[in-house]
Amino acid sequence: AQSVAQPEDQVNVAEGNPLTVKCTYSVSGNPYLFWYVQYPNRGLQFLLKYITGDNLVKGSYGFEAEFNKSQTSFHLKKPSALVSDSALYFCAVRDPGDQTGANNLFFGTGTRLTVIP
């Protein structure tokens, strides 16, 4: 069974500083990993995903994430935070080896990012 953990409910960062939102996962095989962002009263917006290949994945709005197999992590990063980045961020995992047929995204509990002006 797959699972994903976001150890921080809340992350605060000053505008212009680098930000990191943490995510660790557990799957039986090689994971497919996704990051989504949810703004207030909006749906989830896709940021980036890791399927295979380069461990550093670049996505929308200047975000990137690094897949680390040994640490089973997929942390979301941005070099310089903007106030407009303030939102709820979700990490999700999909296990391509899952034989149950569920074959769906398992989401973490979310991390609320607040960028302070």
Q: Which residues bind another protein (CB under 8 A)?
A: 32, 34, 36, 42-46, 49, 51, 90, 94, 96, 101-110
When the beta carbons of 2 and 86 are compared against another protein, the nearer one is 2
Note whether 21 and 8 are within 8 A (CB): yes
| Strand partners of residue 65 | 57, 76
Rg (CA), the chain: 14
Q: How far is the CB of 25 from another protein (least distance, A)?
A: 15
Distance (Å, rounded) from C-alpha 3 to C-alpha 64? 21
When the beta carbons of 102 and 116 are compared against another protein, the nearer one is 102
Q: How far is the CB of 78 from another protein (least distance, A)?
A: 20
Distance (Å, rounded) from C-alpha 39 to C-alpha 87? 5
When the beta carbons of 28 and 45 are compared against another protein, the nearer one is 45
Q: How far is the CB of 7 from another protein (least distance, A)?
A: 14
